[in-house]
Amino acid sequence: MSTQGLSMTAAFGLRRFVAARFLSTLSDQFLLFAIPLAVFKATGSVTWSAVAFVVEWLPRIVFFPLGGFIADRWRPRRLFMAVEWGRALLLAALVALIAWRADATFVALTVASALLSIGYVLTFVATEAMLPRNLAPHELPRAHSLLQGVEQTSQVLGPALAAVVVATSDLNTLLLLACGLFAAAGLVMTLLRTADMKPAVGKGLAALLQSNRSAWQVLLQHKVLFLLSGLTWTVNLIYGAALVLSAPIIVKSFGMADGWFGVLQTTAAVVTIVIFTFVPRAIARHGLPAVGAVSFALMILAGLLLALAGNYAVYMAAYALLMAFDGVFSVYIRTVRGLVIPKEHLGKTTGLIGLMNMCSIPMAGVVVSVLSARHTPFEIFGVLFATAVVAAVVLIVIGRRAFGYGTWLPGSDAGVKPAPGVAPGIN
């Protein structure tokens, strides 16, 4: 590592940032366990639980462009502190409101989950915008690997610890614990030392519209970003289908108890954590495009294995393969984006890309819903595998011809050609 890289990393405090993100994501996982359970207990209705899910999920799509706009106008350290402490105060108010008006539990939980999801979008976009501004380029794969590992670890520890808390206490205790974790994350964020770009100016509707027009111009200038989104949509067909179909397959197709679904998720998370210990070394040895290509291919292969799985063990292995290399592919995608997008436009452009990519998950759910009328879950995986193979071949051929890179997937310098009419200082 160069002396400059060491000084940038040390000044920023990557370990402190990762520790803060661990506390925050662990709290997120607590809430993913607690809020649906609390809504169902409050209403006794699967329908209202589904309504709460939609209300919680929609802001994650709608708020991405606005999140990018905000990320370019706030100092990242202040933004993280405000989001984490804001979520802590929201949870404290939620517990107080439920204690005061128990009959308002459903409305309070639903509104709170929507506001909490906005916090998730802000921290996601702010992270994508901040890291390339504060780390040397060769440090980005390691940083994203650490953050992906933190997310996977939280997915293992969060539900397990939440189940223990609920079994020994109550949901209010769990909400207060999540409140404390968010507050602690905000406190750790005060220790960061960020080298920020000069914040963009303008805060009104006109500035928001101009910001997103500028983000679109950046995408047009760096068209390889559309290719990266196409690759993401391709693998998300299989990934989204696995999220939708895994529980029905285990319970109905394999005739197993609900607990085995938890075993599936835990196993996948543990495998992911193990694989992530090798990701930075693999990138350093084989290069970012090679690791991206391997993870992309293995995710598509996992779709075939899921289609052919005749028992729980094979399905669990295929599912773990899919989830683990989805994380590796995310490291590749995020790193290339961070290197390709000009630093002054990271927030706004990441917000627009997040909007495009996030839509692929519900689209996979729509495809599953349409196909499920005439096909078994395994046949659906087969159809999606064939679709992903065709899409992958088309994207790879188009990408190599259009952008001229010699690897299977693009690296950080693929297709970076200045476009006329895009000023380097657009806001």
Please tell me the number of Cα atoms within 13 Å of 198 on its side-chain side: 5
What digits encode the pLDDT tens for the residues 151-183?
877 877 777 777 777 777 777 888 899 999 999
For 419: left if phi > 0, alpha if psi spans -120 to 50, otherwise beta; the answer is beta
User: Crossing angle for the helix pair 288-308 and 279-286, nearest 10 degrees?
Assistant: 120
Give the per-residue pLDDT at 198.
59
Give the whole-number percent of the chain exceeding pLDDT 70: 85
Dihedral angle, C-alpha 130, 131, 134, 135, nearest 10 ° = -170
> N- to C-terminal Cα distance for the chain?
33
Packing angle of the helix pair 312-340, 346-358 (nearest 10 deg): 150
Same CATH topology for 1-199 and 220-427: the answer is: yes
- CA torsion 154-157-162-163 (nearest 10°) is 140
- Inform me whether the pLDDT recorded for 353 exceeds 80: yes
Contact between 30 and 210 (Cβ < 8 Å): no
Q: What is the distance between the alpha carbons of residues 76 and 71, in angstroms, rounded to a whole number?
A: 7
pLDDT, one tens digit per residue, over 245-284 is: 887 888 788 888 766 877 887 788 888 888 888 888 888 8
Q: What is the mean pLDDT of the chain?
A: 80
pTM, entire model: 0.71
- Give how far Cα 271 sits from Cα of 31, 44, 225, 319, Å: 23, 35, 29, 10
- Please tell me the predicted confidence (pLDDT) of residue 306: 94
> CB–CB of 30/178 below 8 Å?
yes
Determine the pLDDT at residue 187. 94
CB atoms within 10 A of CB 10: 11
- 236, 361 Cβ separation under 8 angstroms: yes
DSSP designation for 221:
H
Looking at 2.70.70.10, 1.20.1250.20, 3.30.530.20, 1.10.760.10, the CATH number of the domain 1-199 comes to 1.20.1250.20
* Residue 196 near residue 79, CB atoms below 8 Å: no
Closest CA to 102 of 26, 179, 43, 61: 43
Q: How confident is the model at residue 44 (pLDDT cuts 50, 70, 90)?
A: low
Beta strands in 172-273 (DSSP E): none
pLDDT at 1: 45
What's the rounded Cα separation, in Å, for the pair 291 and 287? 7
Rounded Cα distance, 390 and 393, in Å: 5
Asked whether the beta carbons of 400 and 231 are under 8 A apart, the reply is no
- Sorted by where each begins, the domain ranges of the chain are 1-199, 220-427
> For residues 141, 144, 147 and 148, what is the CA-based torsion angle, rounded to 10 degrees?
-90
> What pLDDT score does 45 carry?
61
- The tens digit of pLDDT for each residue in 102-130 reads 777 778 888 888 888 888 888 888 887 78
At residue 7, does pLDDT exceed 70? no
Q: Which of 326, 332, 334, 310 is nearest to 268 (CA)?
A: 326
Confidence band (pLDDT; 50, 70, 90) for 203?
low
Whether CATH 1.20.120.140 fits 220-427: no
